[in-house]
Amino acid sequence: MQLTIPKDFILGAASSAWQTEGWKGKKEGQDSYLDSWYKNEKFVWHNGYGPAVATNFMEQYQDDVDMMQKIHLTHYRTSINWSRFMIDYEKGVVDEDYAQHIDDVLDALIAAGVEPMLCLEHYELPTFLLEKYDGWSSRKVVDFYVQYAAEVFKRYHHKVKYWFTFNEPIVIQTRCYLDAIRWPHEQNTNKWMQWNYHKVLATAKVVELFKSKGYEGQIGCVLNPEMVYARSSSPEDQKAAEMYDLFFNRIYLDPLVHGSYPEVFWKVCKEEGLEFTYIQEDLDCIAQNTVDFLGINQYYPKRVRAPRYQWNNQAPFHPEKFYETFDLPGRQMNNSRGWEIYPKLLFDMAMYIKERYNNIPWLITENGMGRENEEQFMDASGVVQDDYRIDFIGKHLSWLLRAVEQGANCKGYMLWAFTDCVSPMNAFKNRYGLVRIELNQERTRTLKKSAAWYQQLIDQRILEIEDDEAVK
**Strands, E assignment, 140-197:** 162-167
Q: Does 423 bind ligand BGP (CB under 6 A)?
A: yes
Q: Does 182 bind ligand BGP (CB under 6 A)?
A: no
Cβ-based nearer residue to ligand BGP, 64 or 282? 64
CB contact set of 312 (below 8 Å; sequence gap of 6+): none
Question: Contacting ligand BGP (CB under 6 A), which of 23, 76, 416, 428?
Answer: 416
Question: Contacting ligand BGP (CB under 6 A), which of 16, 83, 334, 398?
Answer: 16
Task: Find the angle CA(53)-CA(58)-CA(63) to the nearest 5 degrees.
Answer: 105
Q: Does 367 bind ligand BGP (CB under 6 A)?
A: no
DSSP state of 222: E
Question: Contacting ligand BGP (CB under 6 A), which of 426, 446, 455, 456?
Answer: 426
Write down the least CB distance from residue 64 to ligand BGP, Å.
Answer: 16
Write each residue from 19 to 48 as x if it is in contact with ligand BGP (CB under 6 A), else as -, in one continuous string: x-----------------------------
Cβ-based nearer residue to ligand BGP, 301 or 370? 370
Q: Is the dihedral of CA 103, 109, 111, 113 positive or negative?
A: negative
Question: Contacting ligand BGP (CB under 6 A), which of 50, 220, 370, 433?
Answer: 370
Task: Find the angle CA(421)-CA(425)-CA(428) to the nearest 5 degrees.
Answer: 30
Positions marked active-site? 168, 366
Cβ-based nearer residue to ligand BGP, 135 or 433? 433
Q: Does 430 bind ligand BGP (CB under 6 A)?
A: yes
Question: Contacting ligand BGP (CB under 6 A), which of 95, 282, 366, 386?
Answer: 366
**392 CB burial (10 A radius; 0-12, 13-18, 19+):** buried
Q: How far is CA 260 from CA 165, 228, 253, 289, 332, in A?
A: 18, 22, 9, 10, 37
**254 near 262, Cβ under 8 Å?**
yes
CA 365 – CA 374 distance, rounded (Å) = 24
Stretch that binds ligand BGP, among 141-149, 264-272, 319-327, 419-427 (CB under 6 A): 419-427
Q: Does 298 bind ligand BGP (CB under 6 A)?
A: no
CA 402 – CA 344 distance, rounded (Å) = 10
Q: Does 194 bind ligand BGP (CB under 6 A)?
A: no
What is the binding site for ligand BGP (CB under 6 A)? 16, 19, 167-168, 224, 297, 337, 366, 370, 416, 423-424, 426, 430
